[in-house]
Amino acid sequence: MSNAECVRCHQRIGAEWSGSLHQRAWDDPTFLAAYAVEPMAFCRNCHAPEAADTEDERRHEGVSCVTCHVLARDVVGARDVVGARDEGGGEHPVLVEPAMATSAWCASCHEFDFPRPQAAKMQSTMSEHRRSAHRARSCQECHMPEVEGADGTHRSHDFRVQGDEALMASALSVTASSVDTRRVEVTLRVAEVGHAVPTGDLYRRLVVRAVDAGGQAARPVVLGRRFSRVHHPDGDERRQVGDDRVPADGRPRRAELFFLQPFVLPVRWEVVYQRMGPREAAVFGVDMSTDETVMSRGRIEDTK
Ligand code: HEC
Ligand code: HEC
Ligand code: HEC
Ligand code: HEC
Ligand code: HEC
């Protein structure tokens, strides 16, 4: 069965999936810009898993219904719908695989090594999840919530994170206070999230910024994974040399912001999510001024 056939019958789920980052995993302009720099067959395993090569039209299906639901020739589902099929005339048998409702179903793409393996992984969402206070909750519980449709509820398939400001805001619990008249300390902890923040792609980062009542800005602090370029005979490679994201296990991450002049109260602070830093944005053609999300913000009204 082709993907177009699944979408034709499963219209609501098809509509959620169309335009999702799973559907656009190949067509995503940021992916295409990065792929132009590093055109490796390895990338296509996850960004165009149904396509045999870079000409195959199925690359535009990205991570499709078929990718997640068809094993050999069987349609796989998490639950037994034999009853529903017998009554309503479902058109195909469903092989019930309870593992589909568990995080393991996401593992093959959401955790992987660099093309040349090193101690750090290129993405490590699964192992972050194992260290999380929310490890008993599956990826699906947060990323495929039950939503209402015309004929009952179903698990949402839009997998949306970027653009969902409420979901992003739920990830962090942040407090801030003054240390002295020039320094402000911002403390970040994970809240309703099952992995480090940010997780996923290696360039994801948080920027902690503050500005005083007189418009004086503190030097921003960037939290993310840090890499250095290491020479390798087959081409230079990125080697991870630091990771100061907000840890999955609930430990605090502190950012200290410095003002050059004593600040004027109140000081306004914010924690902003960016997909990448300015260097990658320039290479990938991303306009950083419109491509960020405020995850948390507040004011410091008094000094200690
Ligand atoms: C990234 C993987 C992934 C993709 C892509 C995907 N699904 Fe799913 N789908 C799942 C998982 C996982 C579940 C089970 C969730 C649960 O029950 O915990 C599911 C559940 C379902 C269900 C049962 C929903 C319910 O709650 O009643 C249907 C039907 C379904 N998918 C159809 C589709 C169709 C059609 C497409 C393509 C338009 C699609 N899926 C794309 C992973 C995926
Ligand atoms: C001719 C229409 C038709 C086509 C084509 C079709 N389905 Fe279905 N499918 C149904 C019906 C009807 C059911 C019964 C349950 C329901 O109404 O969702 C069903 C059930 C399912 C279930 C189980 C739902 C559950 O609650 O666990 C999954 C998963 C599923 N389909 C996925 C797919 C995928 C993936 C494709 C493409 C490979 C596909 N279907 C193609 C009509 C279709
Ligand atoms: C076949 C590989 C594959 C599988 C399986 C897969 N994903 Fe993904 N997922 C991707 C790719 C590739 C992207 C990013 C596409 C892009 O941004 O270019 C992505 C993006 C996402 C995003 C980010 C959306 C956003 O707005 O930033 C979430 C959340 C996500 N996946 C959750 C899941 C969950 C939960 C499962 C298991 C039910 C799963 N994925 C299974 C490949 C996969
Ligand atoms: C307790 C809820 C929860 C669980 C469990 C959870 N997540 Fe998330 N996830 C979130 C929230 C909230 C965000 C938004 C904040 C962020 O980007 O970290 C997010 C963000 C993401 C992103 C987007 C990264 C980006 O910056 O584009 C991906 C991909 C993702 N999750 C995958 C997964 C996978 C895979 C699992 C299972 C191993 C999982 N999540 C488990 C809540 C959860
Ligand atoms: C094992 C699966 C896998 C492989 C292999 C893979 N990716 Fe990804 N990629 C993902 C997932 C999952 C995400 C989404 C994580 C997130 O949203 O932070 C992603 C996200 C991205 C993004 C971020 C897109 C955005 O909109 O910000 C870029 C760029 C990217 N990948 C490029 C590549 C390139 C280039 C290669 C090959 C060198 C590659 N990927 C190989 C799974 C993979």
- Provide the terminal-to-terminal Cα distance of the chain, rounded to the nearest Å: 66
Reduced to 3 states (helix: H, G, I; strand: E, B; else coil), residue 96 is: strand
Which pTM was predicted?
Answer: 0.96
Is the minimum distance from the CB of 139 to ligand 3 under 6 angstroms?
yes
* 181, amino acid identity: T
Ligand 4: nearest atom to the Cα of 275: 26
Domains, the chain, ranges and CATH?
1-101 (no CATH), 110-304 (2.60.40.10)
What is d(CA 227, CA 117) in angstroms, rounded to the nearest whole number? 14
pLDDT digits (tens, 9 = 90+) for 225-275: 999 999 988 888 899 999 999 999 999 999 999 999 999 999 999 999 999
| Ordered mean pLDDT values, 10 residues apiece, the chain (304 residues) | 92 95 97 94 96 95 97 87 52 89 97 94 98 97 91 91 95 97 97 98 98 98 96 89 97 98 97 96 93 97 84
Position 86 scores a pLDDT of 47
Q: Return the pLDDT at 283.
A: 94
Whether ligand 3 lies within 6 angstroms of the CB of 34 is answered as no
Ligand 4, atom 41: closest residue by C-alpha: 139
Q: Does residue 247 have a cis bond before it (omega within 30 degrees)?
A: no
- The pLDDT of residue 84 is 44
- Ligand 5 binding residues, C-beta < 6 A: 28, 30-31, 34-35, 38, 40, 42-43, 45-47, 109-110, 112, 200-201, 204, 275
Which residue bears the tokens 């005979």?
233
Q: For residue 65, what is the enclosing H or E element?
A: helix 65-69
Type of residue numbered 278: P
Give the residue, by CA position, lying nearest to ligand 3 atom 32: 159
pLDDT at 121: 97
